[in-house]
Amino acid sequence: MSLRRAGGAGVALLLLCGCGGVPAGKEKAMTTIDTAAAVRREGGKVWIEGVKGFDAGEYASSVHGAQARILQALGEDLTYDDLICYAGFAFRIGCHEQMCPSAGHPCCGYMCVKGSVRAMPRKLKLFEAGPWVKPKADRAAFEAEARAAVKASIDRGVPVQYGSEEDGLIVGYADEGRRWLCLHPYHKDPAERFRHDEASGFAGGKWPWGIAIWDEPRPPGERPSDRELTVAALRQAVDMWKTEKRDKYFCGEAAYRHWLGWLGDVEAGRAADPKAGMQGNGWCFDVLVHSRRIAGRWLKAKAAGFDGEAGRQTALAAGHYTAIAEGCMKGLDCPWDLAPPPGKAGQWTGQMRQEQVRRLRAARDHDAAAITALEKALAAMDGR
């Protein structure tokens, strides 16, 4: 896979466009930690015990996946489902104009991070060094400060979020903080702890574009209520559906139109290089199933908290999102069985493409119906 770099200013998270990597398969059950993780020390090495790795099959958004693991280590109730729904990612569909496999990154195209940042129980301190950042006047001092902050966070039992194009976790250190012990979804084994300086690709080897230190807790009054975050997410879902394009990414209904058009061009022999878009096609399909499955179950639970028509319409939207995931996955063990990666180009038949088109058309109709229901729910909430 190629490493894509998308310019632009950072927000209060680790940003920038990553390329979805491998067939993710079925979602895995979330692993939770019952109590705050324990810090272990041995022969100059310090690490946080009990923090689990994750892969793209469990958490398609590595940004939110890394945050979910930190929240679990801290014993917080906020979940991955909450994060990607508050952020709007669970309701987004984005398709790159050249079928880049980056549908799983919340910062590619229509930005989906603000809501999850607002929901965070702790303040974040960022150390940014990405392509969009002006070079540091004293790079050595910057890196020394960042390493000290990472060390201090590990010492108090709080994993550190890091990444360039896809995010992982720093869970330990050695050599007085000069070497990091990490977990990353795009490491050769996502469950394996490894040394950052001995890795490559998304996982490490070079100084990260961003490091996020989870600092002191936010006062209760600084955190929006669940209802406020939920309503904001629903408004964002409606806006994303009606937005034509952000940067090089088609959004909402336009994303379906572009995606279906590309599949039609492949089937008709008009696509110049179909193989080049297969990873993006498979990743978009996988993320659609992943996000809508979560959107459906999350909204179903939230609907119970809304009165009257607002609750009924929210539940109706939840049903449509669930229907998308179920319809796309009918008879499949994995989304990639229908939308294979380029390594299986010879097995990608016209019948498979036609079936994917049929399922995507049904998904588009359910998405449109969900948005109509959400608009009615929001109108009821606003008293209109």
CATH number of the structural domain spanning residue 105: 3.90.70
**Together in a domain, 218 and 243:** no
Residue 11 pLDDT exceeds 60: no
Compute the distance between CA of residue 66 and CA of residue 21 in angstroms, rounded to an integer: 16
Q: Which of residues 260 and 103 earns the better pLDDT score?
A: 260
Compute the distance between CA of residue 23 and CA of residue 56 in angstroms, rounded to an integer: 8
| Mean pLDDT for the stretch of residues 107-120 | 96
**Together in a domain, 90 and 123:** yes
Residue 153 pLDDT exceeds 90: yes
Position 383 scores a pLDDT of 86
Summarize pLDDT for 32-86 with one digit per residue, the tens: 333 346 999 999 999 999 999 999 999 999 999 999 999 999 999 999 999 999 9
**Together in a domain, 59 and 177:** yes
Would 316 be classed as within a structural domain?
yes
Helices (H), the chain: 62-73, 80-86, 114-119, 139-155, 226-242, 252-268, 274-303, 308-329, 350-381
Position 359 scores a pLDDT of 98
**Together in a domain, 192 and 54:** yes
Domain of 257, in residue numbers = 226-381
Domain end call among 222, 242, 269:
222
Would 12 be classed as within a structural domain?
no
Strands 160-163, 167-174: pairing kind: antiparallel
Position 345 scores a pLDDT of 97
Compute the distance between CA of residue 140 and CA of residue 323 in angstroms, rounded to an integer: 53
Position 286 scores a pLDDT of 98
Tokens of 340: 């294979």
Position 37 scores a pLDDT of 63
Residue 15 pLDDT exceeds 60: no
Would 6 be classed as within a structural domain?
no
Q: What's the structural domain count of the chain? A: 2
| Mean pLDDT for the stretch of residues 276-288 | 98
Q: Give the pLDDT band (50/70/90) at residue 220.
A: confident
Domain end call among 195, 222, 249:
222
**Together in a domain, 317 and 281:** yes
Would 337 be classed as within a structural domain?
yes
**Together in a domain, 326 and 218:** no
**Together in a domain, 192 and 84:** yes
**Together in a domain, 72 and 172:** yes
Q: Are 103 and 256 in contact (CB under 8 A)?
A: no
Residue 17 pLDDT exceeds 80: no
Total-model pTM: 0.90
Average of per-residue pLDDT values in the chain: 91
